[in-house]
Structure 1
Amino acid sequence: MNKMVDLPDTLPVFPLPGALLLPRARLPLHIFEPRYLAMIEDCLKTPERLIGMVQPNPRPNNEKALHAIGCAGRLTQFSETEDGRYMVTLGGVSRFRISQEIEGFTPYRRCNVTWDAFERDLGATETDKVFNRESFMKLLGRYFEARELSADWETLQSADDELLVNSLSMLLEFEPEDKQALLEAPSLSTRRETLVTLIEFSLRGGDTEEIIQ
């Protein structure tokens, strides 16, 4: 198990709109931009092999601004294609808060980070003690039907609370700001509540009309 003392004070960061990584989850990535190819190569040389996934947060006075909270993932799988692209998988370790971006000579961005307030991310798998799974699965079924999506319902039904909620939070198509809200949820129960709200909002078509029956 990781400990806070083992986590570095600086991270290379990968700003990718809509890409969400959560602790104990896995995120596959297709890397082809030269600056991020360099980032992967440098990451492989470090003992921690950590990369910080973070959402861009552009503002009128700073188009390159980032959200303060991201999630660090350990590079657990790596392969190179014949044309020089990388296929990698990050295993979610812990969320972090950016304290300052580092001005340096790397082609990719790096930040000073703090891990305070995210000790729970390094603990055991979370459970959702007030999770009404039957109601949730009915709502999810309506969402998949409305979006004409298919699913392995047997696998979804058998998944534990954290795997189910976090996987759906990462996979379902929501706006980047919504993904950030899911990331910043302080507990699994809060993340599930946020996920339900987003699904219901999507079923309403993004307005205040009645949810599709």
Structure 2
Amino acid sequence: MPILPMFPLGTALLPGDHLPLRVFEPRYQQLVDDCLAAPDGPRFGVVLIARGHEVGGGDVRYGVGTVARIVVDTELGGGHHRLECLAEERIRILRWLPDDPYPRAEVEPWPDTPSEGTDLSGLTGLFGKLYGLLDRLTENGVTPPRADDLPDEPGARLYALSRWVPMGEADRLALLSAPGPDERLAVLAEAISTAIDLAEWQLKES
């Protein structure tokens, strides 16, 4: 199985997400240097931390993650880096290796399970209601995503739509852990409904 350098973070990274990173801890400076020198490209895995902290080690990590590719590396001096990364495919962690000097793991790709044809049309009304409420809350003229700007494939489209929904890391992890588009659709619809309930409560309290 492929072995990837791993970067446990306090966020569940979804395929298609952009990930800015400021790297200052020595072990992750080494990770960046090794990734940039890797023959198959500057790639590493990202997993959500279940317990613990990003800095210092000793964290407990979830077993599903995402491959991130470094697309911009800005050296800041003193070994520090500012990175711009793009999340690619989803992975499962098969086995954690010793943190020597940084986390590493044996991983496998985790493609979506096949779908008979996921119907996303029900999300249109939910997004309309959510963004109507957000517009009243922010008074900034927020607009929902344009269909033309979204991927055609249902699984990727649901990941993209999730970036337009205010949600916590537990919901993002549930989206990432959904076996395929049908299950991901149910998770996203529930997250939008929760966001609607919260927005309605905030309007009543304002």
Higher alpha-carbon deviation: 65-74 or 186-195: 186-195
C-alpha contact 1:18 1:175 (8 A) present in aligned 2: no
C-alpha contact 2:123 2:189 (8 A) present in aligned 1: no
- The number of residue pairs the alignment matches comes to 192
Match of 1:30 in 2: 21
Does the residue aligned with 1:66 lie in a helix, a strand or coil? Answer: strand
Specify the code of the residue in structure 2 equivalent to 1:46.
A
- Of the three residues 75, 81, 92, the one matched with 1:80 is 75
- Of the three residues 130, 134, 149, the one matched with 2:124 is 134
CA distance, structure 2, for counterparts of residue 85 and residue 171 of structure 1: 31
After superposition, the C-alpha distances for 1:114-149 in whole angstroms (9 at most, x for unaligned) are 22xx2459xxxxx85443353143133145336528
Superposition deviation, residue 83 in structure 1: 7.0
TM-score, structure 1 normalization? 0.71
Match of 2:158 in 1: 165
C-alpha contact 1:76 1:90 (8 A) present in aligned 2: yes
Specify the code of the residue in structure 1 equivalent to 2:43.
L
CA distance, structure 2, for counterparts of residue 16 and residue 55 of structure 1: 5
TM-score, structure 2 normalization? 0.73
Superposition deviation, residue 179 in structure 1: 1.3
Unaligned runs of 5+ in 2: 53-57
Instruction: Specify whether residues 135 and 200 from structure 1 end up closer, same or farther in structure 2 by C-alpha distance, changes over 3 A only.
Output: same
Q: Trace 1:24-173 onto structure 2 (pairs within 5 A).
A: 25-34=16-25, 35-48=27-40, 49-58=42-51, 64-81=59-76, 85-106=80-101, 108-115=102-109, 118-120=110-112, 128-132=118-122, 134-142=124-132, 144-145=134-135, 148=138, 153=143, 156-161=146-151, 165-170=158-163, 172-173=165-166
CA distance, structure 2, for counterparts of residue 204 and residue 133 of structure 1: 16
> Considering only aligned residues, what root-mean-square deviation do their CA atoms show, in Å?
3.5
Aligned-residue sequence identity (percent) comes to 20
Higher alpha-carbon deviation: 170-179 or 66-75: 170-179
Specify the code of the residue in structure 2 equivalent to 1:67.
Y
Unaligned runs of 5+ in 1: 1-7, 122-126
